[in-house]
A and B are shown apart, each in its own frame.
Chain A
Amino acid sequence: MRTLGFLLRKEFKQIFRNKSLLPMIFVAPIIQLLILPLAADYEVKDINISIVDHDHSTYSQQLISKVTASGYFQLADYGNSFKRALKLIESDKSDLILEIPQGFEKNLIRENKEKLFVAVNAINGVKAGLGGAYLAQIISTYNNDIRMRWLQQPKFNPMPQIEVTSSNWFNPHLNYRFFMVPGILAVLVTMVGAYMCGLNIVKEKEVGTIEQINVTPIKKYQFILAKLVPFWIIGIFIFSVGLFLVARWVYGIVPVGSLLLLYSYMSLYMVAVLGLGLLISTFSDTQQQAMSITFFFIIIFMLMSGLFTSIDSMPHWAYIIAKCNPVTYFIEVVRMIVLKGSSFSDIKYHFLVMVGFAIFLNGFAIMNYRKTS
């Protein structure tokens, strides 16, 4: 126990003496947490539209004012050349073209039907889909207006109508930050934990000081514990700063669920992440190697965790990979507790999985760690 105390003191001294490392550990995550959620906003708004009007009739004008007044669209260009509109799409100045054919008004009244042409820049499929759907909605409302004008108003509602009322629970204003802040916080803690812990041990290997520790009577478990505990504490510290200072004061996110539950999951998760760092360090001889391997895992963990994109949408094989990713569970639990107020019985399964990860990663790492080379 006394040996462990000395070792811990050594580790903390090493960390706090490194003046270039400290800001990276403490300041960088906080700054990122402050800025990044502002950038992660998926709401589709201000779609730029160019309108090509070959008709120049009252009806085409009415339609155009409906489109521009809807709030979804911004008129980027109005003219009568499709080619010019296409040029605007090519240079990303507009996202959508609405082309009104010649004789739009005349054909609609005389022949009872008419077409409109819509071309969408579909490189970003989701944006294109939503933009197209909004425009279709506006056109259909306008269509109904015209019918109303020409048909006599019957006493009863002539058409069957289904009224859809929708509501959003847990985040009624659909504030995207509520979704992003807990997720980004989880990823930052992961990065600090896995990276710092892995690199720290490999550094001793590379510089050769591990040899000096190996010849002392320090036990294997003491050495490993002394490496894990400081980063475990740092991880929890960063998480708390992020949760109480940034999430609470800047974004106004107050956890709905129990803090005790959140912290117990977080502590367990840190053990698993540090185990990952430890495992990587046993596989690499130089910091460059450790870093490349960690980089590889972190970027996969991050993109496959449901942080930005939903894991349900992935093909089945990718879904399985995502389910083998500890970060997935952590992000899910943080969001569940913070936003939905889930209780222990709701996340039992998550606890079980994380205990499994922690045992597997640490066990594997300890087995793989040799005091003699």
Chain B
Amino acid sequence: MKQFLSFVRKEFYHVFRDSKTLLMLFGIPIVLIILFGFAVTNEIKNAKIVVCDYAKDPASQEIINKLSVSETFLLDRALLSPSQVEEAFRKEDIKLAIIFPANFYKDLQHLNKAQVQIIADGSDPNAASTLTQYATSVIMEYQQKLIQNAKMPYTISPEVRMLYNPELKGTINFVPGIMALVLLLICVLMTAVSIVKEKETGTMEVLLVSPFNPFLVIISKAIPYLALSLVNLAVILLVSVTLLDMPINGSVLLLFGASTLLIICALSLGLLISNVTQSQQSAMLISVMGMMLPTMLFTGFMFPLENMPNALQVFSNIIPSKWYYIIIKSVMIKGLGFSAIWKETLILFGTTCFFLIISLTKFKIRLA
């Protein structure tokens, strides 16, 4: 036991003496949470649009005014001809063009029917369909106003309630995702590198010939990172509650329990990577290049998992952060108890055991 403690102490020294890495270890999560809590959102705001108004009558003016006060659109300028529209799309980041034909209001008054054309930049399909939807609804609102003057019977009015997130803030969706991403990647990276580093510099040999159990050598390497990650988690939670107004509706204890499980899972994955690699360079490449994009996508906070092809949905099941993300959302936002998340927790636990067993069986106590 005493031996073990002194090994753990050695590892803590390693971590604390490297102030640059330590700064990164704590700096990255905090900066990321703040940056992305505020900045990364799938809402669409301030999209630049142009209008091409041939009508220049009260109706088109009113619709244009409505569009320009909306937060979604940023009315760039009015254009004169369709050829200019094409040039604008090609040259600038215009997302939408709205064209009012001549006699718009006249047609509306006399024929009760008028046309508006919307052209979207389809190279960003998500923005294109959302913006078209918004612009259409602004125009429809105007139409509704005209209809109301001619009172209509038999009206069904839907009352819509947005559960958990009444203001439709992107933060609620993104912060748990970023938490999962950051915790997973940093833990994997740090463990993998710190073990491979001993291999590369040759000190692993020294540790292995010591009378100390090689498995405990590895475990003592993981302990400082477990401790640091828990501190990290506390800081992340503090930042997201105070600065980003994230609610914690469920039990904090449960949140920490689940996070500890994820951290252990990440540590064992890092261990696995360190076993199969020989140099820090390749350990880093696997844990960053190999894992960053997949984790980002398959956690499910960027793109809905249910839209992916079946094979990828199956694949996403082995990404630990996916389960963690579900747990965090249930506990933090929906305020549910353990009974709602036992299945995900069990899966996360199973994944952890799987990684641990593989890496322990692959662990070689002889070098080369």
Chain A residues near B (Cβ < 8 Å): 18, 20-21, 24-25, 28-29, 32, 35-36, 38-46, 89-92, 108-109, 112-130, 132-133, 135-136, 139-140, 142-143, 146-147, 150-151, 156-176, 178-179, 184, 187, 191-192, 195, 199, 203, 284-289, 291-293, 295-296, 298-300, 302-304, 308-310, 312-315, 318, 321-322, 332, 335-336, 339-343, 346
Task: Spot the interface stretch: B45-53, B233-241, B252-260, B347-355.
Answer: B45-53
Decide: B172 and A123 in contact? CB cutoff 8 A.
yes
Q: List 17 A-B contacts (CB under 8 A).
A: A40-B297, A42-B125, A42-B303, A43-B307, A114-B155, A115-B156, A132-B162, A159-B150, A161-B112, A167-B118, A174-B129, A287-B197, A292-B28, A296-B31, A312-B74, A313-B43, A313-B47
Which of A133, A284, A292, A296 has most chain B Cβ within 10 Å?
A: A292
Top 3 A-B residue pairs of the complex, sorted by shortest distance between their CB atoms: A168-B122, A318-B39, A171-B122
Task: Mark interface residues in B279-297 (1 if CB within 8 Å of A CB, else 0).
Answer: 1111011101110111011
- Chain B residues near A168 (CB, 8 Å)? 119-122, 125, 128, 132
- Chain A residues near B118 (CB, 8 Å)? 164-167
Decide: B306 and A21 in contact? CB cutoff 8 A.
no
Decide: B289 and A195 in contact? CB cutoff 8 A.
yes
Decide: A169 and B119 in contact? CB cutoff 8 A.
yes
B225 within 8 A of A: no
Which of B74, B108, B281 lies in contact with A203, CB distance below 8 A? B281
Nearest CB of A to B306, in Å: 7
Task: Mark interface residues in B141-160 (1 if CB within 8 Å of A CB, else 0).
Answer: 01100110010111111111
Which of A25, A126, A322 has most chain B Cβ within 10 Å?
A: A126
Decide: B91 and A125 in contact? CB cutoff 8 A.
no
Decide: A21 and B35 in contact? CB cutoff 8 A.
no
- Chain B residues near A170 (CB, 8 Å)? 89, 121-123
Those of B123-137 within 8 Å (CB) of chain A: 123-130, 132-133, 135-137
Those of B279-327 within 8 Å (CB) of chain A: 279-282, 284-286, 288-290, 292-294, 296-298, 302-304, 306-309, 312, 326
Q: Contacts A20-B277, A38-B308, A192-B289 given: A122-B164 contact, CB under 8 Å? A: yes
- Chain B residues near A322 (CB, 8 Å)? 39
- Interface size counted on chain B using CB atoms at 8 A: 121
Those of B183-216 within 8 Å (CB) of chain A: 185, 189, 193-194, 197
Decide: B46 and A313 in contact? CB cutoff 8 A.
yes
Q: How far is the CA of A24 from the CA of B147 in the complex (A)?
A: 62
Nearest CB of B to A241, in Å: 16
B10 within 8 A of A: no
Q: How far is the CA of A168 from the CA of B163 in the complex (A)?
A: 33
Q: How far is the CA of A302 from the CA of B32 in the complex (A)?
A: 12
Decide: B120 and A169 in contact? CB cutoff 8 A.
yes
- Chain B residues near A172 (CB, 8 Å)? 122
Decide: B340 and A91 in contact? CB cutoff 8 A.
yes
Which of A38, A167, A195, A300 lies in contact with B284, CB distance below 8 A? A195
B24 within 8 A of A: yes
Q: How far is the CA of A118 from the CA of B28 in the complex (A)?
A: 40
Decide: A122 and B165 in contact? CB cutoff 8 A.
yes
Which of B116, B307, B330 lies in contact with A45, CB distance below 8 A? B307
Nearest CB of B to A299, in Å: 7
Q: Which residue of A lies closest to B59 (CB)?
A: A162
Task: Mark interface residues in B1-38 (1 if CB within 8 Å of A CB, else 0).
Answer: 00000000000000000101100110110011001101
Q: Which residue of A lies closest to B304 (CB)?
A: A127
- Chain B residues near A295 (CB, 8 Å)? 24, 28, 185, 189, 288
Nearest CB of A to B300, in Å: 9
B44 within 8 A of A: yes
Q: How far is the CA of A289 from the CA of B165 in the complex (A)?
A: 40
Decide: A346 and B91 in contact? CB cutoff 8 A.
yes
Q: How far is the CA of A136 from the CA of B120 in the complex (A)?
A: 23
Q: Which residue of A lies closest to B95 (CB)?
A: A312
Q: How far is the CA of A305 from the CA of B334 in the complex (A)?
A: 31
- Chain B residues near A91 (CB, 8 Å)? 340
Q: How far is the CA of A20 from the CA of B196 in the complex (A)?
A: 14
Nearest CB of B to A240, in Å: 19
Decide: B284 and A293 in contact? CB cutoff 8 A.
no
Q: Which residue of A lies closest to B335 (CB)?
A: A90
Task: Mark interface residues in B76-102 (1 if CB within 8 Å of A CB, else 0).
Answer: 000000000010011101010000000
Decide: A125 and B172 in contact? CB cutoff 8 A.
yes
- Chain B residues near A44 (CB, 8 Å)? 304
Decide: B39 and A171 in contact? CB cutoff 8 A.
no
Q: How far is the CA of A142 from the CA of B340 in the complex (A)?
A: 37
Decide: A132 and B169 in contact? CB cutoff 8 A.
no
B161 within 8 A of A: yes
- Chain B residues near A156 (CB, 8 Å)? 112
Decide: B158 and A136 in contact? CB cutoff 8 A.
yes
- Chain A residues near B302 (CB, 8 Å)? 40, 308
B139 within 8 A of A: yes
- Chain B residues near A20 (CB, 8 Å)? 277-279, 282
B221 within 8 A of A: no
B40 within 8 A of A: yes
Task: Mark interface residues in B248-277 (1 if CB within 8 Å of A CB, else 0).
Answer: 000000000000000000000000000001
Decide: A160 and B48 in contact? CB cutoff 8 A.
no
Which of B47, B89, B162, B302 has most chain A Cβ within 10 Å?
A: B162
B227 within 8 A of A: no
Q: Which residue of A lies closest to B92 (CB)?
A: A346
Decide: B21 and A288 in contact? CB cutoff 8 A.
yes
Q: Which residue of A lies closest to B128 (CB)?
A: A168
B70 within 8 A of A: no
Q: Which residue of B lies closest to A142 (CB)?
A: B156
- Chain A residues near B298 (CB, 8 Å)? 39
Nearest CB of A to B54, in Å: 15
Decide: A36 and B292 in contact? CB cutoff 8 A.
no
B103 within 8 A of A: no
Which of B46, B129, B157, B293 lies in contact with A115, CB distance below 8 A? B157
Q: How far is the CA of A146 from the CA of B278 in the complex (A)?
A: 72
- Chain A residues near B68 (CB, 8 Å)? none
Q: How far is the CA of A288 from the CA of B270 in the complex (A)?
A: 14
Q: How far is the CA of A164 from the CA of B140 in the complex (A)?
A: 9
Decide: A162 and B114 in contact? CB cutoff 8 A.
yes
Q: Contacts A288-B18, A312-B48 given: A136-B143 contact, CB under 8 Å? A: no
B366 within 8 A of A: no
Decide: A147 and B158 in contact? CB cutoff 8 A.
no
- Chain A residues near B109 (CB, 8 Å)? 160
Decide: B123 and A41 in contact? CB cutoff 8 A.
no
Q: How far is the CA of A139 from the CA of B108 in the complex (A)?
A: 25
Q: Which residue of B lies closest to A24 (CB)?
A: B285
Q: Which residue of B lies closest to A286 (CB)?
A: B18
Which of A108, A126, A160, A288 lies in contact with B156, CB distance below 8 A? A108
